[in-house]
A and B are shown apart, each in its own frame.
Chain A
Amino acid sequence: EVQLVESGGGLVQPGRSLRLSCAASGFTFDDYAMHWVRQAPGKGLEWVSGISWNSGSIGYADSVKGRFTISRDNAKNSLYLQMNSLRAEDTALYYCAKAMGLDYGDPSSGFDYWGQGTLVTVSS
């Protein structure tokens, strides 16, 4: 059974940093691209970032480019999101999502499994 378990969320002050983790199990982690998608309270889904199976290709939404860094450790079956210079508008539930293919930028690859999310609240 595929499982994605996010952790690392919490309350943080504006301008500070936070690192999210996603532990994956039930599938061959290094055979798939992985993504982060967020959902602000009461709002819709927003793609944040994606990373290819071998970290060779990475992409970010304009709203987080230069502040967030996605990475993965295939040996640990884990996905990460380093979030710096956090802003109030980054407050959201952050989901880890498994892609259906190898490359984050593959248009034929949707997100077939999602974690339950970890809540990030940016507030003073």
Chain B
Amino acid sequence: QSVLTQPPSASGTPGQRVTISCSGSSSNIGSNYVYWYQQLPGTAPKLLIYRNNQRPSGVPDRFSGSKSGTSASLAISGLRSEDEADYYCAAWDDSLSGRVVFGGGTKLTVL
């Protein structure tokens, strides 16, 4: 059971806009930044969004992040076949002695 809650799957057709949610609590998302990682099949995770809504250089502006209270969302507009991947949210958690927590991941299928 992951500390952050994501839907296990999401889907969309090319060109559509899809959103993936990530729900946490006051000790993680509620008080710290959210990060999003993309994991293409058979590859290592890649940083997609940092500090809630910032894109690293090279990440297309089709990807955007937002946060409100104890929840966050990743939006992908103009969906492409190459966006088919697993997406993970993450945040620092202030509980116990402090730790990084991940969501369980959302498998995005481009129909």
Contacts and interface: CB of A to CB of B under 8 A. Distances in A.
Given A47-B101, A59-B99, A114-B45, A108 B88 contact: no
A61 B45 contact: no
A47 B104 CA distance: 12
Nearest to B45: A114
Contact of A105 (B88, B96, B98, B101): B98
B85 to A, nearest CB: 13
Interface in A33-85: 35, 37, 44-47, 50, 59, 61-62
Q: Number of contact residues on A: which range applies?
A: 20 to 34
A107 interface: yes
A29 interface: no
A117 to B, nearest CB: 6
Contacts of A27: none
B74 to A, nearest CB: 14
Most chain A CB inside 10 Å of its own CB: which residue of B2, B92, B97: B92
Q: Number of contact residues on B: which range applies?
A: 20 to 34
A114 B44 contact: yes
B50 A100 contact: yes
Interface of A: 35, 37, 44-47, 50, 59, 61-62, 95, 100, 105-108, 110-117
Nearest to A99: B100
Contact of B2 (A44, A106, A115): A44
Contact of A107 (B45, B86, B92, B97): B92
Contacts of A47: 90, 99-102
Interface stretch (B10-18, B30-38, B76-84): B30-38
Contacts of B51: 108, 110
A35 B47 CA distance: 14
